[in-house]
Amino acid sequence: MRGMTIQNTLRAWFFLLTTLLLVVFSTVLYLGVRRSLFQALDAEIGARAEAFLSSVEWEEGRAHVEAGDLLGGAVDDKWGVELRDAGSGRILTRVGAALPPLKQKPLALSMPRFVTLPGSPPRRLGLFARDLEKEEMGEEAEERERREGPRCFLRISRSMASIEAQLAGVRWTILVLGGFSLLVLLAFSLFLSWRLVRPLRDLGETAKRVQANGQKGLPRSHNGDEVDQLAAILEDAFGALLAALDRQRRFTSDASHELRNPIAGIQNAAEVALRQRRSPEEYQAFLQDILGSSQRMGRLVSALLLLARMDQGMEVQKEPTDISMLLAQCALDLDPGGKRIQIQGPSQLTAKVQPELLRILCENLLQNSLHYTPKESPIEVRILAPNPVPVQGQGSASPRPRLIFRDHGPGIPPSLQDHIFDRFVRGAQANPNRDGAGLGLSLVAEIARVHSFDLQVHFLEDGVQFELGL
């Protein structure tokens, strides 16, 4: 189930990424809200500080504060105000909730400073410094303040219970909305991954069917997307594969058919021979048939083995070989009287080939010609030495030695011309008792292929010409 893994990976990544984004956004949102709430609180504290400071009345270094007036009549636990002398740190006056002791004497506080005090609920504390004798301040006073710092400072605190409550509300909202979004995202990721993987899965299903019953078409959207391209590629690959499979199947079936015939011959001859007592002459005839069938089978098996080995990519051991000598021997074996095969060319020509294979190639070509052309017609073999200089009219040089086989007969009918190198294709006039199984020219083509020989056929009106560039 590989498709499922892709789908799961897709789901996991999508979900992970969206969750991460959601968390980041929520955090930023929460912090933003918190910050603005704090700013509003600080501004409120600042305003109260201004109001407080402007309402203080001074008398011999002591502040008189009317609590009721100072905080607009709303002096309760929410607020706590402390005015201290900057020099001694002594509390000049205090209103509202108690504040924790001063840990550090603030000096030169030109700007208000805000901190959050821990506790339940936490409190926001603002520190303000002010020269309270501003009105009377001349140059001397300013000089002193620069030297000694402000004369007094104000600590004003406000309970953060309301902010806490608001923030808690925001947190809950974010949690609920976030959870809901996560569920939606999860569902969406499931759908999206399913939707993305669906064409792939369809492709997989079809591929399975292709494997099972050789169906060829794949589901194609023809919209040029990646899946469609993949389908096109797969279709081509499947096509090639099925064609190869088909060829292989046909080859196997043909091979088994060709082998069954001689086997049937051997079996039947033996069976019939053993059915009753016979004369030695009769036994001899049966044995002759058995021998003939066995030889036929032997030839067939050798050819099939050779083809199979070459199909599997046999390594060709090339060695310098005298081509002229090899051809002369072939001709002598096939045409002992030397009446039909005529060889022209240098009496010695060496090339690097695999001699056994080249011999099989030449034998098959010559045998074909001998079988398919009239008894008296000549078969011409020309051996051409390599010619590095371009030949006039031929256009290109021929650096390889070449062999040309030319026969004079009925030629090859057009219907067979495209198939002469196919396996188990025989000429119409072939006699299965004398001729091969239609493997000769396939062997020739295969041997040429593994040697990288250049093999060409010319279909002529009065025969066939094979050209082999070694």
Least distance (Å) from another protein to the CB of residue 431? 8
Piece of the chain touching another protein by CB under 8 A; list 102-110, 261-269, 309-317, 360-368? 261-269
**Residue 27 sits in the site that holds another protein (CB under 8 A):** no
Piece of the chain touching another protein by CB under 8 A; list 18-26, 203-211, 365-373, 422-430? 422-430
Peptide bond into 112 cis (omega under 30): no
Tokens read off for 135: 């009105």
Identify which of residues 215 and 268 has a Cβ nearer to another protein in the complex. Answer: 268
Bridge partners, 12 (sequence order): none
Q: What's the burial of 293, exposed, middle or buried (CB within 10 Å: 0-12/13-18/19+)?
A: buried
**Residue 147 sits in the site that holds another protein (CB under 8 A):** no
**Residue 289 sits in the site that holds another protein (CB under 8 A):** yes
**Residue 217 sits in the site that holds another protein (CB under 8 A):** no
Out of 2, 103, 195, 275, name the contact with another protein by CB under 8 A: 275
Alpha-carbon distance 443 to 365, whole Å?
A: 10
Out of 55, 166, 215, 261, name the contact with another protein by CB under 8 A: 261
**Residue 347 sits in the site that holds another protein (CB under 8 A):** no
Out of 73, 428, 452, 461, name the contact with another protein by CB under 8 A: 428
Out of 267, 284, 350, 417, name the contact with another protein by CB under 8 A: 267
Reported as half-sphere exposure (CB side, CA atoms, 13 A), residue 364 has a value of: 24
Question: How big is the site for another protein, counted in residues (CB under 8 A)?
Answer: 32
Residues 6+ apart with CB under 8 A from 338: 331, 332
Give the type of residue at 450.
V
Identify which of residues 265 and 463 has a Cβ nearer to another protein in the complex. Answer: 265
Among 102, 104, 152, 158, residue whose Cα is nearest residue 129: 152
**Residue 429 sits in the site that holds another protein (CB under 8 A):** yes
**Residue 287 sits in the site that holds another protein (CB under 8 A):** no
Identify which of residues 262 and 440 has a Cβ nearer to another protein in the complex. Answer: 262
Out of 110, 120, 213, 431, name the contact with another protein by CB under 8 A: 431
Least distance (Å) from another protein to the CB of residue 368? 17
Location of structure tokens 């031929």 = 394
Dihedral sign for Cα atoms in the order 232, 237, 241, 247: positive
Are 234 and 204 in contact by the 8 Å Cβ rule? The answer is no
Identify which of residues 129 and 269 has a Cβ nearer to another protein in the complex. Answer: 269
Alpha-carbon distance 300 to 266, whole Å?
A: 15
**Residue 248 sits in the site that holds another protein (CB under 8 A):** no
Among 178, 232, 196, 249, residue whose Cα is nearest residue 26: 178
Alpha-carbon distance 269 to 297, whole Å?
A: 15
Binding residues (CB under 8 A) for another protein: these are 253, 256-258, 260-265, 267-269, 271-273, 275-276, 282, 285-286, 289-290, 292-293, 296, 428-433
